[in-house]
Structure 1
Amino acid sequence: MSQADWFVPKGVKFAFTERTGGVSQPPFDSLNFGTHVGDQPSLVLKNRQRLLQQLSLSSEPAWLEQVHGTEVVNLDTDSNRTADASFCRTTNHTCVVMTADCLPVLICDKSATQVAAVHAGWRGLCDGIIEKAVSLFDVAPNELCVYLGPCIGANAFEVGAEVRQLFIDKHPQSESFFILRAGKYLADLQGIARYRTQLMGVNNIYNLPHCTYELKDRYFSYRREPVTGRMASLIWLEK
């Protein structure tokens, strides 16, 4: 199923950016949105302004200071921006997270009344950040749509046995999402996220099966290049 075939409720808009189309110079070339990676602040600002214009957003997205935790901020009621996910029920905000291998997860309800954006690195995914974000929605799980964006793929994401065990301790069935290769385990972030989301009763799950590590010309990858930019994943309610 291509992204064009995904069900998106009328009144909800979302976007996953790639690395091209901006003004940042190597190694942040070119559409970098991260202000914390060493890029020139003026160029990041230009990239963010370009995003605002291209998506026809009426206000600046709610950029977060991401810390690989499980904090989900309600943009309608809280000014805190140190978090790894955001949620809102109004058209006043645009939820956004930044990634460069971690999994971006966008969530909305079928009635287009509430949305959330989640930054799910392996720590946050393991500790339940997606579950925490879903719990903020005041509808039944089968009334939600979840969109899994590009991340490091199952053929490239190497983790240690201790990381695998942390997931298994949470859900023994998670073992199936790890494959042993040359003393390291390959982890399937999208697979784990889909499984954990389905456990909550969410049935409408869509994924963009692009590996950020392998697709060098399209995506930033921290595992591939530790000094690099950040993509943005955004979701918002139309006014």
Structure 2
Amino acid sequence: MSVTDSAIEAIKQMIVDGELRPGDRLPREADLAERLGLSRNSLREAVRALSLIHVLDVRQGDGTYVTSLEPALLMDAMGFVVDFHRDDTVLQFLEVRRILEPAATALAALRMPQSEIDELGALLDSLGTEPTVEELVANDLEFHHRIAAGAGNQVLCSFVDSVSGRTQRARMWRGITQDAAVERTLAEHRAIQRALAERQPEVARSWATVHIAGVEQWLRETLVEEETTPNASAV
């Protein structure tokens, strides 16, 4: 383990042990470095790394503070991972979605207030009969976020939101103009909302699985076509 990694681990342990709590200010750099047996340069590198993943907040002229440590804040860094991965790796994120979102949807069928389920229906109605791709993507993101939030588990919601990043969705929906894609998406959303309204967790789980698996299958087929097309043109 590098010196910087050791410094990161030491600060993390202070937070885990409750010695540093959300909102607390870290001791002076010189004092903390001496206490941890580290050079000030190593400590600075550790603080910089932890600030990038939103564990610490460096305030110029004020000091360094532990953030709120809210799951949504900590998981925000995963959005960068999603954005910078290739399409074939995005398939792995889709596989994670296929595991997490059906579970979140099933929980939402048990926990989501009826008023919020009704609002999901209104959200779908707001699209009209012929939405643009941009409108559908925005609506889709909001639809899935509300369901994840309705599961009543903040950590789960943060994971779902992170994996369902906006850039990832934009890539997945490149083929939205294919025949009946819009209609199919809307129909699946309606089925999910209906299962939530009827408090049928397993039906909701099944529809969510079908919905995400359909996107995953589309992307797999698209990647295969992209791989085979250059070879075909070269023949």
Same fold (TM over 0.5): no
Bigger fraction of residues in helix: 2
Bigger fraction of residues in strand: 1
* TM-score band w.r.t. shorter chain: under 0.3
Which structure has more relative contact order (CA 8 Å, sep 6+)? It is: 1
